[in-house]
Amino acid sequence: MHPMRAASRAAALRTDLASAATAAECVPPLAGLIEIASELRCEGGGGAENARPILDEVLVYLRAARARPSAEGRSGVDETAAVLYLEAEAFLLRDAEVGPVSDLDNAIECLRWLRAMLPDDTDERAEADAKLVSAALTRAGRAGGSLADVDE
């Protein structure tokens, strides 16, 4: 993606995000920013470095969105599931190992919460299961990884 196009799309999404009053209204622009970051990472070169600030920003909003009440006064299951899914996706894309808890660990935690929320035998549950298995296997294969991850 051309840097000017990415900047223009990101600016439009940030405008939408600034006007969002509920967590549900935050989901589409945050998903768009994650898509931009993903495209930047796929480009290689400095793409991953350019994606990181976007993912940092998205994660701040997602944490706030999870705590923000919905239009009905409490967070609905659907919007909480959407926010958890996006949070896991952003952590998986950023995948930094700095800090006391790695992004991979945070993604796995989000996916566990998401999995617990979703009913069995749904496409959403199958997708959460697949992402959780992939993340757990990635963590098991890293230095200091645990075979306990494989049991998950």
Per-residue pLDDT tens digits for 18-77: 998 888 888 999 999 999 999 988 876 667 788 889 999 999 999 888 776 555 544 577
Tens-place pLDDT, residues 63-115: 888 776 555 544 577 888 999 999 999 999 988 766 667 899 999 999 999 99
Run of H or E including 99:
none
Q: What is the pLDDT of residue 74?
A: 47
Nearest Cα to 113, choosing from 125, 103, 101? 125
Band (pLDDT 50/70/90 cuts) for residue 121 is very high
148: exposed, middle or buried (C-beta count within 10 Å: 0-12, 13-18, 19+)?
exposed
Cα–Cα distance, 135 to 101 (Å, whole number): 14
Whether 151 has a pLDDT exceeding 60, the answer reads no
Q: What is the pTM of this model?
A: 0.84
- Which tokens sit at 112? 């566990």
Lowest-confidence pick of 3-17, 52-66, 91-105, 130-144: 91-105
